[in-house]
Chains A and B, each alone.
Chain A
Amino acid sequence: MNNVRVLVGTRKGAFILTSDAKRERWDISGPHFAGWEIYHLNGSPADPHRLYASQSSGWFGQVIQRSNDAGKTWEPVSNKFVYDGVPGTHQGYDGTQHPWEFKRVWRLEPSLTDPDTVYAGVEDAALFRSTDGGQTWQELPGLRGAKGHLWQPGGGGMCLHTIILDPSNPNRIFVAISAAGAFRTDDGGQTWRPINHGLKSPYELPDASAEVGHCVHNLAMHPSRPGVLFMQKHWDVMRTDDAGESWHEVSGNLPSDFGFPIAVHAHEPNTIYVVPIKSDSEHYPPEGKLRVYRSRTGGEEWEALTNGLPQSDCYVNVLRSALAIDTLDSCGVYFGTTGGQVYASADSGDSWAPIVRDLPAVLSVEVQTLR
């Protein structure tokens, strides 16, 4: 019997939504960690009962929670994220140098093979790793060596929000940082280099094609084709076919190429999803119509998916970690909004229905397919 577990992080707690493979009736548990911001929660591919959650608060800072029973019970593990050595400085909003200062964990990415190994992407941007289930964290400082002094915060802060572990090469990891760009390691995290050739940011950077500084919002990869990555940048939807050596734009006929999340279909590596947003100053869908756009051609040619989504007076946003897919035979697609809805499609996006309508603002959505 297949089941689906949707892990939802919100401004005021976490929620776990479960269903069978039909994905019609849902059980909802939560709020877990009520009143706290849950930037992300994620499950281990190696042990689906092992979950990690990033819990934070402006008052009490960062807490990391771990569950060994699929979220029924939780235990706090270490929240000690200390930068390696003297962390140095990065650019601030005003162009002056600011010292690196830990603020929160944006993303938790468990290892593909070991439930006790988990990566944490943090603000101010850095990558940490735990190999003991979150009891201790060590920074991978080589990343900040990739011109970290030139990185600067995006509108949401200087956050490392995307971590992609290459399933074909355990030494290769991709990360993305706002506003620094995309980076890759080929030696397990010791050394990193920017992979931003082809990105253009004429409205954001003095040098539109700078090696670092681009506001990358999200990356996505299909596990069968780890050299192909798709990117939702601040503006522009981009694609690389050589693991980030060069990027080209695939925005095509999108009504707006601004947006936050991007995802790849579970069984069609050339089918991708984005949620266009009007602009960087107007964070809501163009024309008040909530539309997921799907390309079956790996970009350039896009179709609007509207069946079941509000097509008038809709002014929510869909944040960068709030779009996810399941791997059932008929691929499920899920996204959460800042209005507190979580929408699901059990047919690759052809039709949609809300699982829940009135949660706090959704920060992240992850899906576990349980077999």
Chain B
Amino acid sequence: MIRVVLPTHLRTLARITSEVELQLDGSPTLGAVLDALEAQYPMLHGTIRDHVTQQRRSFIRFFACGEDVSHEPADAPLPDAVALGTEPFRIVGAMAGG
């Protein structure tokens, strides 16, 4: 079970108030987590990454075990602690805008 923490605005959009729990088969990767998240919450399509190119939106960052994994490839495996659900996978809206 993977735990995902979303930024406030995306929790509101997805109509959830806490962490998301996702069931993934095998060793989870960055791309697989996002695929599963969008499958479970279709309204999040396009808000984290581009519909067509799958490029991460500029002001979104991904964190796992305190490390910024935003620039990892989609098929990069996530740390064991995230895979086991002891640490959440965090999707963060960048501090920007002034």
Contacts and interface: CB of A to CB of B under 8 A. Distances in A.
Interface of A: 35-36, 57-63, 76, 79-80, 82
Contact of A59 (B46, B51, B57): B57
Contact of A61 (B57, B94, B96, B97): B57
Contacts of A63: 13, 43, 46-47
Given A59-B96, A61-B46, A79-B47, 14 more contacts: A57-B9, A58-B59, A59-B59, A59-B60, A59-B93, A60-B9, A60-B48, A60-B60, A60-B93, A63-B13, A63-B43, A63-B47, A79-B45, A79-B51
A60 B45 contact: no
Contacts of B9: 35-36, 57, 59-60
B52 A60 contact: no
Contacts of B93: 59-60
B53 to A, nearest CB: 11
Give the contact-size bracket for chain B.
Answer: 10 to 19
A61 B47 contact: yes
B57 A62 contact: no
B10 interface: yes
Nearest to A83: B52
Contacts of B45: 79-80
Nearest to B14: A76
Nearest to B93: A59
A207 B13 CA distance: 47
Given A63-B13, A80-B51, A58 B97 contact: yes
Interface in B78-97: 93-94, 96-97
A35 B13 CA distance: 12
A57 B93 CA distance: 11
Given A61-B47, A63-B47, A76 B13 contact: yes
A82 B9 CA distance: 24
Interface in B1-19: 7, 9-10, 13
Given A76-B43, A80-B51, A82-B51, A59 B94 contact: yes
A59 B59 CA distance: 5
* Most B C-beta atoms less than 10 A away, residue of A35, A62, A63: A63
Contacts of B7: 59
B47 A60 contact: yes
A75 to B, nearest CB: 8
A58 B59 CA distance: 7
Given A36-B9, A59-B94, A60-B9, A80 B46 contact: yes
Interface in B36-85: 43, 45-48, 51-52, 57, 59-60
Contacts of A36: 9
A60 B43 contact: no
A60 B51 contact: no
